[in-house]
């Protein structure tokens, strides 16, 4: 018999935003598969979007019509299926959690090692934060108006999986990893909101529950409101979040969600990675097109699959009595 999860999401007496009663909804095996799909969706969105990063929707249409295939190229001249800093920094976090438990210093060390490897794509704010750590050993820079980019939320998926079923732990870890490079309230809010949506999706909650959780989050951070989405997808975390929320809640399939998102252009790889993680967890492994999976480096795929299982195993789910 498969173990059923009865995860306390929240009640009227709690301050959480999950809006679902405690009830068995998914098996542990299903959670593990959704976690796998989340990390794979992140990498696919990254690889798909990298081709059209910094292009406008008009330029994309003139060049590709509608970009639907992972083909590399772009301003980084990537190989088909090659991933960028979105996936690479997420891998640093996932490897650290699996090897050390929760250690922001170990994560920062892995970021530093990654930066020393001279990756082709490093965001300016991430580079500045990692260099600060390398020079001074500080795990958090001072709050800065320059830190309102999307570089912290793009790597939140492994943190969300490792904190499944514990919203308070998610928030604590999300902000600690964020502040290594980004210390800004909008970045913080984005990390927590995307992390919460990943929790809900991995635990099999409905789109409506996810929408209600988003509505509550928008009461606290109305800047992320996407009702009148303008089609702007820059590295500014507000633009990224509006793009991600707009396309996730309008889509009906994993493929539709990612294709529509990356064809907005701009910071397409990061928006693709974030929405890919959410949509992967929501739609599941079977919804991910096989042709996209085949384009990814098999070593990356295998590592993401292995890490996702270890992250679920290390999460607070292991303490749930019903397992």
Per-residue pLDDT of 271-304, as tens digits, reads 999 999 999 999 999 999 999 999 999 999 999 9
Task: Give dist(CA 33, CA 6) in Å, integer.
Answer: 17
Closest by CA to 287, choosing from 264, 320, 245, 258, is 258
Which domains, from first to last, does the chain contain? 25-319 (1.10.4080.10)
Segments in the chain below pLDDT 70: 1-25, 319-323
First to last CA, the chain: 11
Residue 152: what pLDDT?
98
Which single residue is written with the structure tokens 């097109």? 289
Region class of 11: left (phi > 0), else alpha (psi between -120 and 50), else beta: beta
Residue 261: what pLDDT?
98
Residue 318: what pLDDT?
75
Residue 78: what pLDDT?
97
């Amino acid at each position: 018999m498969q173990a059923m999860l009865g995860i306390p999401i929240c009640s009227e007496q709690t301050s959480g935003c999950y809006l679902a009663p405690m009830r068995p909804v998914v098996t542990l095996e299903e959670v593990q598969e959704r976690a796998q799909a989340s990390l794979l969706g992140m990498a696919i969105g990254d690889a798909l979007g990298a081709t059209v990063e910094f292009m406008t929707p008009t330029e994309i249409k003139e060049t590709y019509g509608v970009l639907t295939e992972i083909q590399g190229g772009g301003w980084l001249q990537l190989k088909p299926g090659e991933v960028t800093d979105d996936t690479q920094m997420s891998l640093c976090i996932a490897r650290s959690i699996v090897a050390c438990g929760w250690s922001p210093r170990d994560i920062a060390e892995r970021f530093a090692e990654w930066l020393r490897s001279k990756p082709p794509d490093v965001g300016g704010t991430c580079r500045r934060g990692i260099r600060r750590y390398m020079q001074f050993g500080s795990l958090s820079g001072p709050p800065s108006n320059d830190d309102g980019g999307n570089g912290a939320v793009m790597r939140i998926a492994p943190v969300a999986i490792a904190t499944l079923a514990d919203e308070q732990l998610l928030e604590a870890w999300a902000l600690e990893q964020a502040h290594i490079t980004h210390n800004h309230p909008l970045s913080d809010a984005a990390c927590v909101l995307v992390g919460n949506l990943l929790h809900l999706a991995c635990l099999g909650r409905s789109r409506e529950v996810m929408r209600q959780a988003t509505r509550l989050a928008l009461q606290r951070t109305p800047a992320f409101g996407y009702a009148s989405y303008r089609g702007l997808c820059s590295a500014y975390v507000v633009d990224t979040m509006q793009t991600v929320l707009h396309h996730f809640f309008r889509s009906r399939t994993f493929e539709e969600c990612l294709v529509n998102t990356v064809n907005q252009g701009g910071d397409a790889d990061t928006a693709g990675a974030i929405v890919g993680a959410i949509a992967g967890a929501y739609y599941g492994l079977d919804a991910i097109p096989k042709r996209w999976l085949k384009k990814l480096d098999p070593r990356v795929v295998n590592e993401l699959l292995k890490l996702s299982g270890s992250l679920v195993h290390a999460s607070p789910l292991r303490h749930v009595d019903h397992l």
